[in-house]
Amino acid sequence: MDFQTINWEASLLAILPELLMTVLAVVILALDLTWPGSRRREIGIISGIVLFSIAVIGLVFSAPPQGELAGQLMFGGMIRHDMFSQIFRTMIIIGAALTCLLSVDVERLGRRGHYYALIVIATIGACFMASASDLVMAFIALETTSITLYMLAGYLREDERSAEAGVKYFLYGAVMSAVTLYGLSLLYGFSGQTNIYLLAAGLTSQSIQGLPVLIALIMVLVGFGFKISAVPFHFWTPDVYEGAPTPVTTFVSVASKAASFALLMRFFMAAFPAYDELWVLILAGAATVTMTLGNLLALWQRNIKRLLAYSSIAQAGYILIGVVAISANAGSGMAAAVFYLFMYTLTNVVAFGVVILASRVTGNELVADFAGLSRRSPGLALAMTVALLSLGGIPPAAGFFGKFFLFTAAVDSGFIWLALVGVINSIIALYYYLMVIKVMYVDRSASEGQPIPVSGSYRWALGLATLGVILLGIVVTPVYAWALQAGQALLLN
């Protein structure tokens, strides 16, 4: 397969959103240098609006070509421009746009232009992760996203929790990056290829097989497991989620996770088809442990951000069910995982957005501080309820259909036991989701007569995200069909 001839027009069009975001990052830094402090709040609003526009432009003007794999590989095979990368790029950019709007009124964040520039740069890296088809591009994109997220997690240097979160995230991430890079280098050494679509042929045609390839596979899987917060590589998640600024936590929980799952699915489907029974078995075990441990530990949390952190770990386990189902029922398994990630992106934005507003007034992030929220701000309580019901898989929120698609794909693929584990874990998770709703609507608070102000940017961000969660639970077919097209595009090798 010849990847050397580059169609520059098609290649530049394929990365049009990334090019526009690069321009946006430069404009943000220029505005940060020239605008007075009183106007820098507007930078976040501009960033959010422009990112939304870029997501739309990417859908309208950067449509992936139909047909053979060779026609979708751009820049000499460095990236693949297909429906799979397009849907992930869309959800990542939307997550970044909503994060910018949620950051506008946050103290020590909202008026710092370089903060938004870091968000945009991390988004560029995440988008390239979703479309990377070469080991070099995959690692560069992974590190572009990771390094900016380390900086964002520890952005509030004078805050001990933020500084600790940044250091922990960096130290753990650096070790995992080294493990991942070593695994990738082994794969290159064994196959003589860096393009992931040529790795499979290289690995099966060489004399080095079996244990050496297995070691490389596990090392790469360790790196991906860290990025998606899968057990036993989840240990950084609660501390980073709690200590990082809440808008950063929002971005880490949605955009970074979506990009990591995109890279994981593309990589293992393309590079290890001969070892699918092995990695599917490993991921099935990881899904079981991740779901169970995440939900059980969430039951004991009293800090809302730590509760959502363990919920995020459990959600990673659910998504892994779809990845496991790819082995026997590739189209529906991948579509279920993609649909669930789209739902999860919007849902977590809503949940953390409410946490930002509530904690800014109460000064704490405890679940008990949400007492009487329904009387202080009925709109925020309703948005949080929609988010929690969606995460719990209660209709008509989008999470119900997300879990339905995942469990159905698992059953159709012969993993009935895994679907049963998922159902049991969903029931366990309902306890702590409903507990938060009970605190908001039933428990009393001495300050419940004081309303919680909601600015225009928050109204738009939370309103759009909440509406998206509801619409995904009502108008299911078009989005699932899009996800199914994305899954089928990934199978075109």
3-class SS string, 169-181: HHHHHHHHHHHHH
Q: How confident is the model at residue 413 (pLDDT cuts 50, 70, 90)?
A: confident
User: In one letter, which amino acid is 307?
Assistant: L
CA of residue 53 relative to chain centroid, distance: 20
Residue 208 reports pLDDT greater than 60: no
Average pLDDT over the chain reads: 86
Model confidence at 290: pLDDT above 80: yes
Q: 79 has which bridge partners?
A: 74, 132
Percentage with pLDDT > 70 across the chain: 93
Sign (positive or negative) of CA dihedral 57, 59, 60, 66: positive
Q: Which residue has the tokens 């029931």?
A: 427
Q: What is the mean pLDDT of residues 468-484?
A: 87
Give CA–CA dist 152/126, Å, rounded. 15
Structure tokens at 144: 């572009």
Span 23-32, pLDDT tens digits: 999 999 998 8
* Average pLDDT score over residue span 406-426: 91
Question: What pLDDT score was predicted for residue 288?
Answer: 94
Q: What is the pLDDT of residue 335?
A: 87
Residue 327 main-chain phi, psi, to 5 deg: -60, -40
Please compute the mean of the pLDDT values over residues 394-408 and round it to a whole number.
89
Residue 95 tokens, joined: 């997550």
Q: Where are the alpha helices (H) located in 326-397, listed in sequence order?
A: 330-362, 373-376, 378-392
Q: 33 to each of 25, 29, 104, 184, 202, how far by Cα in Å?
A: 13, 6, 18, 40, 50
Rounded CA separation 434/49 (Å): 34
> How distant, in Å, are the alpha carbons of 102, 104, 263 from that of 149?
17, 18, 17
Distance CA 463, CA 379 (A): 9
| Per-residue pLDDT at 2 exceeds 80 | no
The answer to whether residue 328 scores a pLDDT higher than 70 is no
Is the pLDDT assigned to residue 207 strictly greater than 60? no
Q: What is the pLDDT of residues 301-313, one digit of tens each?
A: 999 999 999 999 9
Q: What is the DSSP letter of 207?
A: S
Q: Is the peptide bond before 232 cis (omega within 30 degrees of 0)?
A: yes
d(CA 376, CA 440): 10
Give the Cα separation of 163 and 244 in Å (integer): 8
> Is the pLDDT score of 370 beyond 90?
no
Compute the average pLDDT of residues 319-348: 85
43: confidence class by pLDDT, cuts 50, 70, 90: confident
pTM of the predicted model as reported, rounded to 2 decimal places: 0.92
Three-class DSSP category at 166: helix
pLDDT of residue 206: 54
Name the most confidently modeled range: 150-159, 246-255, 416-425, 483-492: 416-425
Report the pLDDT averaged over residues 339-366. 88
The predicted pLDDT at position 289 comes to 94
Q: Is 448's pLDDT higher than 80?
A: no
For 55-72, the pLDDT digits (tens) are: 999 888 877 777 677 668
Mean pLDDT of 437-451: 81
pLDDT beyond 80 at 412: yes
The helix/strand/coil state of 229 is coil
Burial readout 373-383 (b: 16 or more C-beta within 10 A, e: otherwise): bbbbbeebbbb
Q: 3-state class of 475 per DSSP?
A: coil
Task: Choose between 411 and 274: higher pLDDT.
Answer: 411
Look at residue 314 in the predicted model and tell me its pLDDT. Answer: 94
Residues 78-94: pLDDT tens digits? 888 888 889 999 999 99
pLDDT at 201 over 60: yes
pLDDT recorded at residue 6: 65
